[in-house]
Homo-oligomer: A and B are copies of this chain.
Amino acid sequence: MPVPATDLITAFRARGMKITPQRQLLCSLIEEAHDHPTVETLHLRAMQKMPTISLKTVYTTLTELAEFGLIRLVPLGTGSLRVDPDPTPHAHLVCRDCGSIIDQPLEPNLAPAPAQAEDLGFIVEERDVIYRGRCAACAKKSAAQISEEGDVGGHA
């Protein structure tokens, strides 16, 4: 359940921040981003509509929205931050090979914070649950490759 673009815009207005065309564009792109794009990818999409928009502006805007708690900027270990328009708790399946990401509901018996955290005085603000492995397509591809290697000259 991503936050609608209008609500993202409203968040800037509510904080006395300016509603620039760049922010409007990015907010609508974020609403439509159901594929956890990298920041760079979102920048490329933005440039289709506004060729002069800078990568720095994209980073800045995303960071602001993440601080407002309206999106999530998730470090999934793929080398770059992923933009997640859904700020509500959920897990991620991350493919090692192609980097694709699939949302998953959180295990209901996973506590919002570990029992010992409070004792330690640690204040939990956020939770990431990441399952790494191979998506169906990449698992298939890598299985095919292995059988090909074992089968010397099989396709010659």
Contact = CB atoms under 8 A, between A and B. Distances in A.
Interface of A: 75-77, 91, 93, 95-96, 102, 104-105, 107, 109-111, 113-114, 116-117, 120-136, 139-140
A123 B141 CA distance: 13
A123 B143 CA distance: 12
Number of this chain's copies in the complex: 2
Nearest to A125: B133
B131 A127 contact: yes
A-B pairs with the 10 shortest C-beta distances? A121-B136, A75-B77, A125-B133, A126-B132, A104-B114, A124-B133, A128-B130, A123-B133, A124-B131, A123-B134
B93 A122 contact: yes
A110 B77 CA distance: 21
23 contacts: A75-B77, A91-B114, A93-B122, A102-B120, A104-B116, A107-B109, A107-B111, A110-B110, A110-B129, A113-B131, A114-B131, A120-B135, A121-B139, A122-B134, A122-B135, A122-B136, A123-B134, A124-B131, A125-B133, A126-B131, A127-B129, A127-B130, A128-B128
Contact of A132 (B93, B109, B124, B140): B124
